[in-house]
Structure 1
């Protein structure tokens, strides 16, 4: 099914407005966000008013009804600013909303999508202390209890956990691993329920303002209608479908932030003088700038191609993984060059280059490490080749 999305003219106007908001409001507020390690409530309210929490929600649930191409372009523009601004919205949009739209019952959609579109914050509970990509090792359990379930276990490194009102929690509904990870189910958990505890926010290398924390589930009772889609064994499939959108969001964040990093490097190279002239006149500096521009352009093109395939209803696993792999690694290379262009100043916290370097590092890790992306890509290539003679 082709996803038409928002009217093109209206979308262009929205992007123009967002671009101004990013440059005139969000970037000037970055120092305050970093100092507090949280986005101020007045800015969150402005983001809610702009509809940034409901970009991909259907219009009937209070959202903007964007297709994937429009959503990813919005994330790319938003990600020119501090990564925290994307993080606070992206779990709602790229993962939880996707899971609800594709797998939720009509009652679940009616209850949660309007609340998420209005700006209630969600988190996505897959990773655990002993399992990340290895779902067979998941220890969180959901045991039948009357017409509901009791959840016990813990989740680790969960983005937005300290702020979340809703958690999409993966748990085992079967003790033994089953084919196609059918032992894992997904549950919509009100984060204020008795037995849900959120740990102290973790101290991170970068990405200040975005918070992650552990979630502890101690005999948490949920009704049967909390089971996503009303069917056991669909949780992992739901998570993987959601991760395709999540990975494209990370790729868009990488491309948007890399553009900010390159602009900063260009500005410094223009202003900094050595041997009587701006360092942007030195060919080896120019080489780093040129390589960065070429790689950012490649990532932007990959994003457009991958999201067009999603909107056309074509298989998205391979293009999403490929785009996430390239864009995240690219952003790290651009950040490294930015530090190098700054020289000794790039190692000092008073310059943005140092922060960019720390912020970018996570992009090659979350929503699937680069190594997991390589495995996903290779398996898809081999499967496609075996089926049709080409990768």
Structure 2
């Protein structure tokens, strides 16, 4: 059992680490506070080929293994978790298109998505349907060679840049169970009736937009039905979310790593009662706890990623990694704030941003409580074993 990265993965990580330290870390705090969109960072990610992480090599992408995929999100989130979201939704959508799209759809979109010439996201959630995706109300009625789409989507990352935007709809609202009547349509941003109406204010996860999208009598050609067959949208979305949970777990590791880095540096430099605060046992205990949580989350994330590379069903493993790593990110951010004391509450230090960013990971790609039930049901059904 080898827990080490191979040479190619280490080189990839080192390249990413250098990019993050030079291009993201120096500007993240100021740009986040001013609300500035990270255009230059996005350009840098394009130059590194990161928009092609989940695109197979035959379509011009990196075709990265899942451990390398996780490394990308870990390193970028160490610099600025919100920026990783730009890449995250794009990658989930690319994975879904590569796995489930028709050959014509792959040829049409994947090469440009791999270079970042096109960007995308995924529109699943609605004002009244988040975790319960079967409760969506957006409909797509067949009319000749088109579908006519009506509905509203919420919390859509990359909404102002996504083209096409995969949208989960009900092509048969009367189907029972509901998922049998759900499909995904690839909607072009310039379609009449397609409107990004508002950016949603957030506690953290800044740097990328999260938007409301309204579709009013949007006509979408039937050729834009993902995979060309109705009724498979729920399965297509859920399979893609397995990669989404890996990227959320890896983002959590990145946040925890930054919490550790900031805490260790502060404990060495800050003095109280004539000595570095790192000499006090209370601080040492918190530092040790952060380090243990961080490394455990990292190993579980890499384990889940490597299982996906083996080609096995891994909704259990990805769920376990996501919920554990995100819980640890929140705990590490809170301990980092305690180590910093009053300065941890100041916007002049990185810790307060980590504290605001961390909670999203326990919500995104399935809330942790829901994932706990997913894991438990998988164990009870015998689809996964712990040994």
Which of the five TM-score ranges fits, normalised by the shorter chain?
Answer: over 0.9
Determine whether 1:107 maps to 2:108: no
Alpha-carbon displacement from aligned partner over 1:164-212 (angstroms, at most 9, x marks no partner): 2221100001122423711110111112211100022111101221210
| TM-score of the superposed pair, with normalisation by structure 2 | 0.94
1:371 to 369, 382, 385: 369
Displacement of 1:36:
4.5
Alpha-carbon displacement from aligned partner over 1:91-138 (angstroms, at most 9, x marks no partner): 121x11111111100000011111211212212111000111212321
CA distance in 1, matches of 2:100, 2:363: 26
Q: 1:4 aligns to what?
A: none
Give matches, 1:77-88, under 5 Å. 77-88=75-86
Q: 1:381 aligns to what?
A: 379
How many correspondences in the alignment? 382
Displacement of 1:214:
0.5
Supply the RMSD in Å over aligned alpha carbons.
Answer: 1.8
Displacement of 1:292:
0.9
Q: Is the 8 A contact 1:148 1:222 kept in 2?
A: yes
Farther-moved stretch of structure 1 (306-315 vs 318-327): 306-315
Give matches, 1:1-391, under 5 Å. 9-93=7-91, 95-119=92-116, 120-179=118-177, 181-384=179-382
CA distance in 1, matches of 2:153, 2:40: 30
CA distance in 2, matches of 1:9, 1:347: 40
CA distance in 1, matches of 2:315, 2:41: 34
Unaligned stretches of 5+ in structure 1? 1-6
Q: Secondary structure at the match of 2:125?
A: coil
Displacement of 1:46:
2.1
Farther-moved stretch of structure 1 (318-327 vs 265-274): 265-274
CA distance in 2, matches of 1:205, 1:320: 26
CA distance in 2, matches of 1:389, 1:46: 42
Q: Secondary structure at the match of 1:125?
A: coil
Q: Secondary structure at the match of 2:199?
A: coil
Q: Is the 8 A contact 1:195 1:219 kept in 2?
A: yes
Displacement of 1:288:
0.9
CA distance in 1, matches of 2:38, 2:331: 31
Displacement of 1:307:
1.2
Q: Is the 8 A contact 1:306 1:323 kept in 2?
A: yes
Q: Secondary structure at the match of 1:53?
A: helix
Flag the 1:329–1:201 CA change in 2: closer, same or farther, 3 A.
same
Unaligned stretches of 5+ in structure 2? none
Flag the 1:35–1:274 CA change in 2: closer, same or farther, 3 A.
closer
Q: Is the 8 A contact 1:39 1:84 kept in 2?
A: no
Displacement of 1:8:
5.8
Q: Secondary structure at the match of 1:151?
A: strand
Alpha-carbon displacement from aligned partner over 1:213-244 (angstroms, at most 9, x marks no partner): 10100000011111000000100001100111
Displacement of 1:289:
0.8
Displacement of 1:40:
3.6
Q: Is the 8 A contact 1:38 1:211 kept in 2?
A: no
Alpha-carbon displacement from aligned partner over 1:285-319 (angstroms, at most 9, x marks no partner): 11111111111111111112111111111221100
Q: Secondary structure at the match of 2:220?
A: strand
Flag the 1:342–1:8 CA change in 2: closer, same or farther, 3 A.
closer
